[in-house]
Homo-oligomer: A and B are copies of this chain.
Amino acid sequence: MPDAEIIAVGSELLTPQRLDTNSLYLTDQLNALGVEVVRKTVVGDDRERLVDTIRGAMARSQIVVLTGGLGPTEDDLTRDAVADALGRSLEFSRILCDQLEERFRRFGRKMAEINKRQAYLVSGAEPLANDRGTAPGQWIEQDGVALMLLPGPPSELKPMFERECLPRLEKRLPPQVIRLRQLRCVGIPESDLDQLISPVYKQYPTLATTILAVSGEIHVHLRARSARAEDAEEVVEEAFGRIDALLGDRVYSRNGDSLEKVVGDLLRARHAKLSVAESITGGLLGGRITAVPSASDFFLGGFQTYSNEMKTRLLGVADELIADHSAVSEPVAKAMAAGAKARTGSDYALSLTGYAGPEGAQVGLVFVGLASPEGVEARRVQLPGDRERIRIFSTNTALDLLRRKLAAEISSAA
């Protein structure tokens, strides 16, 4: 099996503030093909050093992935450095240039002269289409090495890798079957989850198990690899079934769907509408729910009641309730949810109130309210981390409370 190296290009990645995170995604993708990443390099916008790095990688590894440095400016040197390293020239592509101009036109802008730099291809390279940005990628084969030039922004790199590079790589690699399953959980710490499921996954020597903590959620990836599809499938399905049973109702997704997508689908299935009332999160919960395409099928809207006055004015939370219990309390969370439900006419309403810090003795204390056709309930949680984490975890807690409610209703109705 060939080895891979990843080279991230950009002086900003050599500052104390920035890390190359694209390599994590690329490593995951390459590993899934059975390819190991044996070296990762970050190099600045320096043509000579970049040429030297590319030559070194090509001498050692059969797959070389370059990310970044494909922009239109003078310090975007990847194209030039690759041409130098391979002893090839850069050639202007009329077709690419027309596509770039067309892209600018579509957004009602005129292409700057400087963007023409992005229409140059290393001689003999295949262009890789970029739906999300102006920088086309490039695919080059030389001396048994496959070299990929990909744009730096993850939103451009990922779709390009999946659509353009994966099929080309699969053609080059010996047939290997990989079977994947995943589970996503919320509401359990990573170490507790690992302690629970590691006795299972350790029993399968051909199974690669990855546990990822992502914004307060835990994603478990299971990957079995074999020359025969049946073998890979049997291993991954058996392990998946056992782990799924251990995790129980903590699992919100078995197909990679996001928590907001799962909640949206549950609401849509019962033709129910949701509204929100957000204090601590200021709108993040609604922002997350509406990240799902066609969210209007199940989301009406809501209220960002950051000040106490707004809780009273927009949601009808009684002044005395706030005075007696404080704005961060179970009664206020319930009153906020009830108010949002009544004022929007939704079937369900979620509310969030809490202390996000950074100052204060009770930072991390959050109440979630849930109004449903059966009544109003609330949950109290103490969340770890800084302001940003507390606010994101708050939205997890709210969405998961609603998910469990909807799932319980469906299973009790069945």
The answer to whether B293 touches A282, judged by C-beta atoms less than 8 angstroms apart, is: no
Q: Out of B38, B285, B302, name the residue touching A14 (CB < 8 Å).
A: B38
In contact, B282 and A295 (Cβ under 8 angstroms): yes
* Contacts A74-B198, A194-B73 given; does A41 touch B38 at CB 8 Å: no
For window 171-227 of chain A, which residues contact chain B by CB distance below 8 Å?
Answer: 189-192, 194-195, 198, 208, 210-213, 221
Are A296 and B307 in touch, CB under 8 angstroms?
A: yes
Within 8 A of B (CB), among A1-54: 11-17, 19-21, 24-25, 27-28, 31, 36-44, 46, 49, 52-53
Contact assessment for A31 and B49 in the assembled complex, using a CB-CB cutoff below 8 Å: no
Can you tell how many copies of this chain the complex includes?
Answer: 2
Question: How long is the Cα–Cα vector from A288 to B288 in the complex, in angstroms?
Answer: 12
Complex contact B210–A12 (CB within 8 A): yes
Chain B residues contacting A12 (CB-CB under 8 Å) are 210, 212, 221
Distance between Cα atoms of A282 and B304 in the complex (Å): 10
Closest chain B residue to A281, Cβ basis? B287
How many residues of A are counted as interface, with CB atoms below 8 angstroms from the partner's CB atoms?
104
Within 8 A of B (CB), among A353-387: 357-359, 364, 382-387
Q: Is the CB of B107 within 8 A of A384?
A: yes
Also in contact, A287 and B296, with CB within 8 A (given A73-B198, A155-B385, A198-B73): no
Please tell me which one of the listed residues B25, B28, B153, B304 contacts residue A283 in the complex, with CB atoms under 8 A apart.
B304
Provide the bound-state CA to CA distance between A402 and B108, in Å.
Answer: 24
